[in-house]
Amino acid sequence: MLNVRTSKEPPWIKSNLYAIVNAVTFDFTCPVRVDPPTVNASAQYTITFRVGQAIPSGSGTITVAFPTGTLLSYSISSGSVWLKTGATCGASDFTVPDCPSSDPSATPLTFNPTISGQQITLTIPNTLTINAGDWISIRFCLSADIKNPYNPGNYTLQIKTSTQPNFG
């Protein structure tokens, strides 16, 4: 709760309650990359964000919530999703555009992702270390068979992790 007053109205007024949550951070100058960005097309998605807390290898998870209208496959193989730490915004987050990635710093999933409604949950591979403050890129390959919405427009997806359980 905050207290606020002005020079015209000197008594303190209490604000409504508000919440501060533990969520991942997006750099708003770094948009989600969708290739191709065409309606009703299968697309490759590259998402870059920052974690505030470490995610344990082998058991930690990242969940991506896709917007309504995005069509998700019933199953996705582990080789259709790649993760990279130390990512930066822009074309350099994966050094090559192909998928599966031949980028030596990218890691494929070990376990198939789980899909529930509009959410895809990824388990962090045993070979990948994600520390607090790391920038992460996720690449969903064309083989993940994620289809863009039928309607053109601006869309937002959300991410949470097993250590930061609120969508950001």
Tokens matching residue 137: 């890129």
Q: pLDDT by residue (tens digit) across 47-60?
A: 988 888 999 999 99
Nearest to 72 by CA among 101, 115, 39, 31: 115
Rounded Cα gap, residues 7 and 159, in angstroms? 42
Among left, alpha and beta (phi > 0; psi -120 to 50; other), residue 95 is: alpha
Rounded Cα gap, residues 2 and 76, in angstroms? 46
Tokens matching residue 22: 């533990």
At 116 the three-state DSSP class reads strand
Name the pTM for this structure: 0.83
**Average of pLDDT values for 149-166?**
92
Looking only at Cα atoms, what is the longest distance across the chain? Answer: 64
Q: pLDDT by residue (tens digit) across 3-17?
A: 666 677 777 777 676
* Residue 92 banded pLDDT, cuts 50, 70, 90: very low
